[in-house]
Structure 1
Amino acid sequence: MITLEFKLKGKLAQYRIVDDMIRTAQFVRNKALRYWIDNEGVKLSDLYKQCAVMAREFEWAGKLNSMARQASAERAIFAIGRFFANCKAKKPGKKGYPQFKKHTRCVEYKTTGWKLSADKRSLTFIDGFAAGTFKLVGSRDLHFYAPTEIKRVRVVRRADGYYVQFCISVERTEEAVPTGKSIGIDVGLNHFYTDSNGNTAPNPRYLRKSEKALKRAQKRVSRKKKGSKNRKKAINRLGKKHLKVGRQRKDFAVKTALCVVKSSDFVAYEDLQVRNMVKNHKLAKSISDAAWDQFAQWLQYFGKVYGKTVIAVAPVYTSQDCSACGNAVKKSLSVRTHVCSCGAVLDRDHNAALNILAKGLKQAGIVLNTVGHTEINAWGQTDLYSLVVTSASKPTG
């Protein structure tokens, strides 16, 4: 499944209709959640039936395409399922009990309620709201995909306009030239990451760089009268600045992950629990700004696309253990140099990256053993790669 995004270009009246569509989708989702709360043992099929009931009960809800109403109900059942999954897994802290939405920003259609033009440069909504035809603005080309491959059409409202996302049921694969290289990655705050070869990538700190402008924009919002048009304009300007920071962060994560995956056949990285790490209020903003989770997700994605092995390893003792002899060398966060009695002296993050690589190779060796390979030297990169390149056609991560 891939997603192609375009900006919707239309008239102001059309955008107001899209807002009505989004509010209706939010209403259907909240009503479905309320039905689940009030009735025991509710299934998705029951929520589908309630969508039809809502369409008959509320005229304006019936304007929304039937499959769009079903997609909104699916969002409710997804939140419910996630809550029960967290409870079953005994996830620490809050389990994410489903909440009613107040500020939904998207509406999702399935295979009906919309129509692409013959040249696939415009999109028309043909349900009861009749939002009309929008021009698609973007660099991607939909001509490569048949209309039957488009399984979802999602309209998203952002601070700088309205966008449409086409969810296409195809598997993306790219040809990759084997490099025979393995790499371990330790993410940090001084450097975005340090690899097992000692190379580093700078931490861009996009939020920190934009913090002054964000504070000024926030002050302008607080000075405006609540409910006024000027306040809405100030909120929109603030939203655009936050949107820019988020896009910069995503762009950096995508390009960095792609570079890492294409330059190595085997990538091991830390499986960090960022949700727990941000409880440290002194480092929470810097950790969130680094977006390690987003970087890890793109590593996994590109690993599957390029057929590379990407493995997440537990970060336990990766910074404390010596990569040369294995002895534990206790050190606080302020100590940035690893010094061991065996004579090993190197940067703290470089030492951690070497340990991460060793753990990843060992973990990969165990995985390969389960499919028939025995006596694998998990610490020897050359022996492992002769097996990974030839037999691991699908990433294990």
Structure 2
Amino acid sequence: MLVFEFKGQGKTAQYLAIDEAILTAQFVRNKCIRYWMDNEGVGQKDLYRHNTSLRAEFSFVKNLNSHACQTAVERAYSSIARFYSNCRKSIPGKKGYPKFKKNSRSVEYKTSGWKLSGNRKQITFTDKKGIGKLKLKGTWDLNFYQLGSIKRVRLVHRADGYYVQFLVSAENKVEGEPTGKAIGLDVGLKEFYTDSNGHKEPNPRFYREGEKRLGFLQRRVSHREIGSANRKKAINRLGRKHLKISRQREEHAKKTARCVIQSNDWVAYEDLRIKNLVKNHCLAKSISDAGWYQFRKWLEYFGVKFGKITIAVNPAYTSQKCSSCGTIVKKSLSTRTHVCRCGCILDRDWNAAINILKLAFSTAGHVGTYASGDPTATLIGEILSGQVRSMKEESPSL
């Protein structure tokens, strides 16, 4: 499943109508969650019936397209099903009990409630919310795909405007020439990654670079009166800055992963539990700023697109073991050079990258991919939470 995103251009009244549609979808989802809480043994069909009663009871719900209401029900049931799944698996800690949404930012239509123009540059929403026709600002060309292949249309509200996403069912594979190369990657905080050949990719630290500006914008928000128009403007400026940083991090991970995959046939990396690593409050900000999750996600995605093999291996002792003789050489995080009695002296991360590559060849780790429709490199719900249900991928023209 591919996602093509355009910026939707319209008038202020249309933007208000989009916000109303988003709030209505949030209302339906929360009502379904409440219905599940109050009634034992409620399933997805019962939630669909409850949605029908909501449309009969509330006129503003009826004004929203019926398929958009159904997707809100599906979102509610997915959180319920995930909670039950976590309970069955006896996952330690919180099980993800369904919560009410307070600030939803999207509403999703299926195959009805919208209509594309002949040149595929405008989209008209035909339900009674009054959204009307929006211009599509973007570079992707939807004329390459049949209308029947567009399975979902999603309206998203972000700090810098409103976006229209098209979820298209299409193949996204590219045949490439084999390189005959294999590489192991050790991600870090000092360097973004170090490979088994000794190459180091610098860590851009986008959040750290923008932290001073973020602090200034946050103070501007704090100094404005609650509920005032100036406070809303300050909040929007702060949100735009956060959005820019997140986009920079995502784009860097995407470009770096694409380069790594196209240059190698085998790519091995650590099967890190990011969720557990960020519990260390001394390193949580730096780990989140590095974007290891995004990098791994795009490695596995491009692995399938270009027909390459991506392998996630157990990271245990990869930094402590000598890549030359296999002896365990204990070292703290502050020790950046690996020195073994066999005479091997290497940078700590370079040594770990070599061990990761050797481990991948010896055990094959978890072989797989993140791309939608294919098996993942990790067990679902254990390490990269939500990886299978996400369908936001790049365009095949990239």
- TM (norm. structure 1) is 0.91
- Does residue 155 of the first structure (1) align with residue 155 of the second (2)? yes
1:314-346 CA-partner distances (Å, limit 9, x unpaired):
111110111111110000000000011111100
Give the match for residue 344 of structure 2: 344
Separation of aligned partners in 2, 1:325 and 1:395: 35
1:165-212 CA-partner distances (Å, limit 9, x unpaired):
101111211121100000000000010000000001000000000000
- Please say if residues 149 and 170 of structure 1, whose CA atoms lie closer than 8 Å, have aligned partners that are also in contact: yes
2:318 alignment partner AA: T
Q: Following TM superposition, by how much is the alpha carbon of 1:99 offset from its aligned partner in structure 2, in angstroms?
A: 0.6
Q: Following TM superposition, by how much is the alpha carbon of 1:138 offset from its aligned partner in structure 2, in angstroms?
A: 0.4
Give the match for residue 123 of structure 1: 123
Separation of aligned partners in 2, 1:338 and 1:53: 67
Superposed, 1:270-289 pairs within 5 Å as 270-289=270-289
- Say if 1:45 and 1:256 are closer, same or farther in 2 by CA, change over 3 A: same
Matched residue SS, 2:96: coil
- Say if 1:27 and 1:237 are closer, same or farther in 2 by CA, change over 3 A: same
Give the match for residue 35 of structure 1: 35
Higher helix share: 1
- Please say if residues 311 and 365 of structure 2, whose CA atoms lie closer than 8 Å, have aligned partners that are also in contact: no
Give the match for residue 183 of structure 2: 183
Matched residue SS, 1:171: coil
Superposed, 1:59-208 pairs within 5 Å as 59-208=59-208
Q: Following TM superposition, by how much is the alpha carbon of 1:94 offset from its aligned partner in structure 2, in angstroms?
A: 1.9
2:51 alignment partner AA: C
Separation of aligned partners in 2, 1:108 and 1:337: 51
Superposed, 1:323-342 pairs within 5 Å as 323-342=323-342
The percent identity for this pair of structures is 59
Separation of aligned partners in 1, 2:350 and 2:238: 39
- TM (norm. structure 2) is 0.91
Separation of aligned partners in 2, 1:211 and 1:341: 43
Separation of aligned partners in 1, 2:43 and 2:300: 32
Separation of aligned partners in 2, 1:33 and 1:95: 16
- Please say if residues 313 and 365 of structure 2, whose CA atoms lie closer than 8 Å, have aligned partners that are also in contact: no
Q: Following TM superposition, by how much is the alpha carbon of 1:395 offset from its aligned partner in structure 2, in angstroms?
A: 8.7
- Please say if residues 155 and 162 of structure 1, whose CA atoms lie closer than 8 Å, have aligned partners that are also in contact: yes
Q: Following TM superposition, by how much is the alpha carbon of 1:89 offset from its aligned partner in structure 2, in angstroms?
A: 2.6
**Which stretches of structure 1, 4 residues or longer, exceed 3 Å deviation after superposition?**
394-397
Give the match for residue 308 of structure 1: 308
Give the match for residue 252 of structure 1: 252
How many matched pairs? 371
- Does residue 361 of the first structure (1) align with residue 361 of the second (2)? yes
Q: Following TM superposition, by how much is the alpha carbon of 1:93 offset from its aligned partner in structure 2, in angstroms?
A: 2.4
1:270-290 CA-partner distances (Å, limit 9, x unpaired):
111111111111111000000
Separation of aligned partners in 2, 1:171 and 1:53: 39
- Does residue 44 of the first structure (1) align with residue 44 of the second (2)? yes
Separation of aligned partners in 1, 2:364 and 2:270: 14
- Please say if residues 32 and 73 of structure 2, whose CA atoms lie closer than 8 Å, have aligned partners that are also in contact: yes
Larger radius of gyration: 1
Where in structure 2 are there 5+ consecutive unaligned residues?
A: 368-373, 378-398
Give the match for residue 383 of structure 2: none
Separation of aligned partners in 2, 1:226 and 1:365: 53
- Please say if residues 311 and 366 of structure 2, whose CA atoms lie closer than 8 Å, have aligned partners that are also in contact: no
Separation of aligned partners in 1, 2:301 and 2:8: 27
Separation of aligned partners in 1, 2:355 and 2:273: 18
Matched residue SS, 1:210: helix
Q: Following TM superposition, by how much is the alpha carbon of 1:365 offset from its aligned partner in structure 2, in angstroms?
A: 8.9
Q: What is the aligned-residue RMSD (CA, Å)? A: 1.4
Residues 356-365 or 278-287, more deviating: 356-365
- Please say if residues 182 and 265 of structure 1, whose CA atoms lie closer than 8 Å, have aligned partners that are also in contact: yes
Separation of aligned partners in 2, 1:347 and 1:175: 36
- Please say if residues 22 and 104 of structure 1, whose CA atoms lie closer than 8 Å, have aligned partners that are also in contact: yes
